[in-house]
Amino acid sequence: MSKLHADYYADSMQQIESPLVRNEQIAEDTFLIRVDAPEIARRVVPGQFVMIRLSQTDAPLIGRALAVYNVVNDESGDPRWIDLVYLRKGTMTTALAASPLDRSVTVWGPLGNGFSNRSCDHLIMVAGGIGQTPMLLLGREALGSQQFGLDSRSNGWSNQVTLIYGARRKGLLAGVNDFKEAGFEVELCTDDGSEGQQKLVPDVLKERLERLPAKARVRVVTCGPEIMMEKVSEICESAKIDCQVSMETPMACGIGICFSCVAQVKQDGPEEWDYKRTCVEGPIFDSHKICWS
């Protein structure tokens, strides 16, 4: 399982209140918000998330977890803003999408453990649905174009970054230009063939792995629907490739108190498993540790 670092536990989280600096539609039912959160921006590492609530209302009462999509620097190069990308789905995201720019939100984070930055030759990121949101930071760190975290963890740890990204249809693909501009090789697929290959992302991954040189040190990370991550995990396990998953179990507190977010995680013994809180012991786990349902 990913090693936890004390700086990344919830006890180093910051809570801020900020007006929405941006709130704009970037794809079908998909929006990007920007909040002024320098204390979070300079602490966050790829794969971490924040909890967000609309301030001064209790509808909804409970915050929602959103992965940190981007960290934006101010004029002097210091991290200042964080961008979050969300799919308009239910109570919170519908209210957020309808919010004007000066609407105040409460954000606490960064939370969770974050992806590993173990070096490799080729990082392959596999995303489905809204699961592309943690990938921009990770790919930029891997290629060495941005550094993250209070202890400036190492960057430039992969020679090549590929994003395999699938959605139901073309309109739902969000942030594709950001990924291309960051220097990732982007392979798109859609269920209806309206953009890229008409294939499922695990099948694209399998074909890609078969084409790679036998000695390439490959790492895979994945985020998206659980069924997709399970398939990606199976492919990596049979190819003996290191794979980390970002679990998106529903959360209430985000700081380890309520146990609403647990996932079944395998322990050392063959039949042993335990509940782990995705918000503090995850959301990133080694894929072979997850007891897929």
Ligand X SMILES: Cc1cc2nc3c(=O)[nH]c(=O)nc-3n(C[C@H](O)[C@H](O)[C@H](O)COP(=O)(O)OP(=O)(O)OC[C@H]3O[C@@H](n4cnc5c(N)ncnc54)[C@H](O)[C@@H]3O)c2cc1C
The contact set with ligand FES (CB under 6 A) reads 251-254, 256-261, 277, 279
Interface residue with ligand X among 11, 24, 90, 193 (CB under 6 A) is 90
Does the footprint of ligand X cover residue 133 (CB under 6 A)? Answer: yes
Does the footprint of ligand X cover residue 132 (CB under 6 A)? Answer: no
End-to-end CA distance of the chain: 19
Does the footprint of ligand X cover residue 255 (CB under 6 A)? Answer: no
* Contact assessment for residue 173 and residue 134, using Cβ atoms and an 8 Å cutoff: no
Kindly report the number of other CB atoms within 10 A of residue 231's CB atom: 21
* Contact assessment for residue 274 and residue 267, using Cβ atoms and an 8 Å cutoff: yes
Q: Tell me which stretch binds ligand X (CB under 6 A): 7-15, 90-98, 146-154, 224-232.
A: 90-98
Residue 76 phi/psi, 5-degree rounding, is -90, 10
Least distance to ligand FES, CB of residue 83, Å:
23
- Choose from ligand X, ligand FES, none: what does 156 bind? Cβ within 5-8 Å by kind: none
* Contact assessment for residue 105 and residue 122, using Cβ atoms and an 8 Å cutoff: no
Quote the CA–CA distance of 173 and 155 in Å, as a whole number: 27
Interface residue with ligand X among 70, 93, 117, 222 (CB under 6 A) is 93
Torsion of CA 207, 185, 225, 198, to 10 degrees: -60
Does the footprint of ligand X cover residue 89 (CB under 6 A)? Answer: yes
- Choose from ligand X, ligand FES, none: what does 82 bind? Cβ within 5-8 Å by kind: none
Instruction: List interacting residues with ligand X (CB under 6 A).
Output: 49, 64-67, 85-87, 89-93, 130, 133, 248-251, 283
